[in-house]
Every structure is written in C-alpha cells, then in structure tokens.
Structure 1
C-alpha cells in the first residue's frame, strides 16, 4: 500500500483528522506529508476544512461523482460556470462537485435536476443585457416617487427559485460574514470585467463605494475597492456614526431605509465629474443607491449621468435582502 493510499484509508476510517495525526500515523516527514495531502486534495480524493490552527482533513466524494454520473456537455459547462455549494462545514464546492453534493444532500436525481437547473437559469438570463448585467432601472422607478439614478444594474440575482442563493450571492454573503479576503478577491475577479464594460459604455469618470454600517476588522467594500483597482477618480462617501448602529438590512419599511440613508450618508467631494458610478454590495429596497444619487445630484458634483450598480439584487422587485 502506498503512502497516499494509507492516508486516504486512515482519513476514511477516522472521518476527520489533523495533519499531526496523519504525520504520526504514516511516520514520514512533515514536508513529505503535506506534499501528499496537497496532491490528494487537488485530485479530489480528500478535502480540507477549517482554518489554521484548526485544520482537518476529511473524505471526499469527488472521485465517485466523476465515475458514476455523466452530464451532457452544455449542461456540465453551465454548472461548472455557475454553481457553488457551501457545505455545513464551510467547504466551498464549485461546479459539478458542488452540484452533486447539493443534490445528494437534498435527495435529488442529479441528471434530472441538472436539466431543471439549466431551464431555471435560462428563465433568469432573459433579464440580462448583452453585457451580462441585469437592468433594474424599471423596478426602482416603481419603488420611489423620485428617482435620482439614470440607470440601475446588478451583476447577478441574489437568489433564484428552488436552487437558492446564486454563486455570487453566496460569495457575497459568506465573504462578508467570514471576513475572508481570499473569497472577496475571488468575487472581485468575477465582477471586474462587467464593471469595466459599464465604465466604458457610460464614460464613467468617477466612482463611489457605499461605506459599511457595521464595523468589521475586514471591510468588504474596502477590499472590493482595493481589488478592482479602478483607474478613475473616487468620490468619498462618509457614513455618519450614531450612538446605536442601525444597519439598513434591519429596517423593513422603505420609508425607514430612506430616512436612514438621508441622515447618515455625507458626500465629501469638490465635484467636476461627468458621469458617476455608485457601487453597493446588495440591492434591497434600492433606497441607499437612490439617496446617494440624490445627494450627488443636488450637490452638483457631476454634470452627466448617475449609474447605480449592485453586486446582487432581488428578482422580485427590490425586496429586502436582510442577510448581507
């Protein structure tokens, strides 16, 4: 039996083991053990969960998946491009691997469900423009008497029927909750091209990022700004702090969200811009984007268009997305 086979059998027998336990069991050097573990993970034969110093290795079903299920070429590509499953252990499984795991957890036939997933995505993709963005302008116009944004887009829906949160929706939720810089960078890379296209199409020369309300060691929007590296001017938005922090996501009424945004956001900029892009993480009511657009317009900071962009948005109107 090879060392790799010994490691696999040991992990399968124990369920979850630490690197130290594996090193003691196989009786080889630490460096050699980690090389074996890396190869086994890359080959889909085991999985790694946790973060240092609490990292454990567990069995993986990826090998069985590929041997027993064959998807048609177009369906496989759709799943690999769009599907992400975050397990209860916090393991991110993308594409076919994640789809099979999700089907197994829900006792679903993977082949039949894959066709349903394809049809569901086709339904939602009807709302996409050629750029790949989703136009939410008409929906925000039905939510507010006065709209100060010329156009509103989001990169993806936050969730879709039956299958739940989209890949981008999950990356947004878990990267914020876990304050995971690597996950935020991954999300940034996914949306970067679409933002560049938007900037070019609308001749954007200034951008502003909606600042966070809740204090975190790793702030999502700060990391996003750093990762995007946009070569245009930045408009500073200041979030005014109060004695009691009231995040927008905790407010269910649109009126309360509007009041919250009106009284807590301040624009600090000398103006002179043409077209401005406002970037937010998730569109719920759309109140924050619209109020910031109003403040920019009334302060005569720009002379052209104001475009709003959210990473994710609700499919049914601008329902409150309370998780992020």
Structure 2
C-alpha cells in the first residue's frame, strides 16, 4: 500500500476589506503544486489542504461581492497562516482600517504563540505590525507604503526593496501580486525546491524574483505633506541634467545645508545627493521604457558624463542594469 502524502494545512485569514485576489489566487498555486506532487514517487508527495478562516462570528463574509464561507478557526491544526492585503486608496487610509481589524489582530497574536509561520503580503504586513508581532524584526511591504510604514512602526526594520523577507516565523512580501511568491515560498518550504520550481514554470512565473527595486517610483514613497522635501524635489527635477551644490538647494528651500541634510534624513532616509541620484534613475527608467534613445543620450539627459558611471548608479538603485531594464520594460519592436 502506497504511503499517504504529507498533509500541509494552510489557512487564509479573510476579513472585511481584504484584497480578493490575495485571498483566492494562492489557492490556485497550491492546487497546481498538488497536481505536480501527485506525479512524484509516493514517498515524496505532499498535499496542501487549504481553507478560509475568519476572526469573526459571521458564517459568511462578503468582500466586494465575493462571498467566503470560513471554516471554524482551529489554529493549532494549521501549518501556516496567510493574510491577503488590505484594500486601500492611499497610505494614510490604512490607519483607520487597521483600527477596525481588532478581532484579526487578536487572532494573529494567538496564532503567533504556536510558533508556526505567519505569511503576510502587501499591506497586510501593516496588520501584523499593528498586532505588535514585528517589533524588533525585519519585514517588507508594498514599496509605496515604505514611508508610512516606517513612521507608524518604527520598531520594525523595514527592507522595502526586498520582495520576500523571512524573520523567524514571520514571512512578508511586497506589492500585490507577491502573494504568488509567498505561495511558492510555502510550496518550497514544505514540498522542496524542485516542486517550487516546477510549480513556478506552470504558472509562467520567475521563481527567483527577490527584489522590488526595478518597480520602485521614488516620488510615490515619500512622506506625504513634507514641504521641504517636496520643494526640493521640484527644484531637483528641473535640474536633473545639470550640476548643482548643496548651498543652492538649501537656499531654494529657505534653510541651511545642515538643516536640509537632517530633514532629508528624517523624511526620506537618505541625503539630498542620494535623493537626486534616485530621481535621475527615475527619469532614466521613463526614457528606457518609452523611447528608443541610445544609452549615451539617456546618460546625458540624466546629468552624467559617461555611461559606465551612470550604469553603476542605475544598478545600485534598480538592482538591474539599464540594458536589462529596457529589455524587461521597454518598447516592443
């Protein structure tokens, strides 16, 4: 008699205002993994048993017209608990939404006592942090939430460029579709890397994505309402192809160079020079995406004299070279 496959129980915590795709699509990843695992020798098979859970008493939870019928929450029986992201319009819409998710925070605290993985994607890392479970730990979230997250959760070490961050029994991921990367992470954790890779191939996914850096648009992640930073950004954007000095920028912002440095560090986590580099890389990204200009022309329009220096700066911020970026995101022939 063939041995039974190893059963892995994955719970998805659904709640009011959660992202529907994040609550549903990971289950398709596990379904594909189950199919592929069934082709392996019996001793190596795993089976992912998935279910929706709720921290609330209602038997049916409707989110954006989609109805979920959660099972009773047997937390001890789970091997991992996943969270879909929170649907929101902008970073500061999240604060009142988090305050309304008290039952979910309490369930997370109870599940954390089991020592089993809590898997958060996108903005749901804010929910785990709000529950106090990420203090002193590393985490990531959607890159456009970086400034908000650092301000609201200063005790958490945020690595917003990373796509997936694992710290103890907490695993977090970046933008909305990274829940697929988290599902693949779980497939690899419990079924092995070969099953993870084969599942990714069926999904036509890159199983080795590790960074959000190529997707980051700097202007979207700055702390809202910081007048000095916004004033500096507008001035710098008009001079990306020119040289400038700190005294000129400070004078435009009606402050001293020392105060300007401090405010940039507090609000943006970098110096004005680093910020200007990031803006130049943003311009280069736009030109690489939307034009067929040569790399030499783009280098000049971004304020650099030679392609080699510019390419090093670009790769430092985007984690890929300009040519690789154009190949991935540029105009198609």
Tell me the TM-score normalised to structure 1 length. 0.29
Bigger proportion of residues as strand: 1
Tell me the TM-score normalised to structure 2 length. 0.29
Bigger proportion of residues as helix: 2
